[in-house]
């Protein structure tokens, strides 16, 4: 499936498949659920992660999401102690 040919219905179906977890009163979609939805829409896309920093017990990571043609779709960062 080409990324340009994805329909709203396909995106809606993928979003509806995501299970959320209540964290401090807010619904949170865990990474495994977001990846599952991404694979429904872009089965041959890629998710690359790398550690940017690991200092004083704090790790910072970056994620890069690309379609099957290598076109960068999104990036994100997160940290953990």
Beta partners for 14? none
Q: Is the predicted pLDDT of residue 1 greater than 60, yes or no?
A: no
For residue 3, pLDDT over 70 is answered with no
Are the C-beta atoms of 3 and 67 separated by less than 8 Å?
A: yes
pLDDT at 4: 59
User: What's the whole-number mean pLDDT along residues 40-69?
Assistant: 95
CB 47 within 8 A of CB 62: no
φ, ψ for residue 50, nearest 5 deg: -150, 145
- For 22-78, the DSSP string reads EETTEEEE-HHHHHHHHHHH-TT-EEEEEEEEEETTEEEEEEEEE-TT--EEEEEEE
Confidence of residue 72 (pLDDT cuts 50, 70, 90): very high
pTM across the whole model: 0.72
């Amino acid at each position: 499936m080409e990324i340009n040919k994805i329909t709203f219905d396909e995106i809606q179906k993928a979003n509806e498949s995501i299970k959320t977890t209540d964290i401090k009163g807010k619904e949170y979609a865990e990474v495994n659920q977001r990846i599952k939805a991404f694979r429904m829409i872009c089965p041959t896309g890629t998710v690359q992660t790398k550690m940017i920093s690991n200092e004083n017990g704090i790790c910072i990571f970056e994620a890069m999401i690309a379609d099957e043609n290598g076109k960068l779709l999104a990036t994100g960062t997160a940290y953990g102690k």
